Chains A and B, each alone.
Chain A
């Protein structure tokens, strides 16, 4: 008897997970394809190193694959894989310590057409007029890396990845109030580090 033919990109996460739990490796490959860009963004903005990010992503998906049978569907796959990623990244950062090499991705040229970028760079003759994109990238990265790991996590998830407070709360296993509080203090710190850009 031949196996049913699936068109994996059209299948919902929950069904892909069920198929992967029955040893359908192509279903898991689809999940990897689907989540690689999102998780890449999370890990990259936490580590500021693209090589570390790719290595860590491999470990994260390998861990997820090994643990997939234990996934009972009580939360969404999305929340589950994000939790694994955050925990593994935080563990990695603890091991790595303070000595690391920054290795940044290129900034997409689309930034120049971004309304927010345009607004910031044209607003009342601000300092962004005078710096190029790479300098901006460097300053933003430095500011992010000066945050504590907990604060950097919430800023990455909320501001860069666009997740909701409730989703972040589930991923980190803390209350929504804690998420909001961390965000508040993280933004205050960032404001101090990047004061000259946001006056």
Chain B
């Protein structure tokens, strides 16, 4: 059984109740509201813009009812996951007009002003890495042998024989993806 308090106060309760007479002065209580207002203003001024933004976001979030709140959270999560997934995908190399690649094309380039590409830039995507590392020594040795320029010319001739594909210079040829050029070049050499 729980001990219960009697309805009439005991002497010890009467004694403790005398603490009610300990009170702050009237000025203390009157000044308190003014102090509180001042402190609120000071805090507002000292709060950083980021802090205010965070407070607004959390307040907005708290005001949402339960269902839309978690619905929005789900949507945001799904969008973040999609963005992450696309971000981790290997770059797709799609030739575009002007000799560049779709992933490098900008609206300015598409609109008329030609994008300037680095001629020597090697465009190696994730899928090409292994092939590139095995073929790089071959190119280097071919270059040291003095056969690289010839190869380029030979290949230009091959490519130009393909309907609809015309290249003007070795420099332009060099902007082609490494994967295609190595295959085209490697086969005749090995024979």
Contact = CB atoms under 8 A, between A and B. Distances in A.
Interface of A: 25, 29, 32-33, 36-37, 40-41, 44-45, 50, 54, 57-58, 61-62, 65, 69-70, 104-108, 110-111, 114, 116-117, 119-120, 136-137, 140-141, 144, 155, 158-160, 165, 177, 180-181, 183-185, 187, 190-191, 194, 197-198
A117 B14 CA distance: 8
Contact of A105 (B14, B22, B37, B39): B22
A45 B32 CA distance: 18
Contacts of B19: 45, 137, 140-141, 144, 160
A140 B39 contact: no
A108 B24 CA distance: 9
25 contacts: A29-B37, A32-B32, A36-B32, A40-B29, A41-B20, A50-B24, A50-B28, A54-B35, A57-B32, A58-B35, A58-B36, A62-B43, A69-B59, A105-B22, A106-B23, A111-B21, A116-B18, A137-B22, A160-B20, A165-B5, A180-B5, A187-B13, A190-B12, A190-B16, A194-B15
Chain B binding site: helix, strand, loop or mixed by DSSP?
Answer: helix
B46 interface: no
B22 A106 contact: yes
A125 to B, nearest CB: 15
B190 interface: no
B37 A44 contact: no
Interface string B121-165: 000000000000000000000000000000000000000000000
The 3 A-B residue pairs with the shortest CB-CB distance, nearest first, are A184-B3, A111-B21, A198-B11
A58 B39 contact: yes
Contacts of B12: 187, 190-191, 194, 198
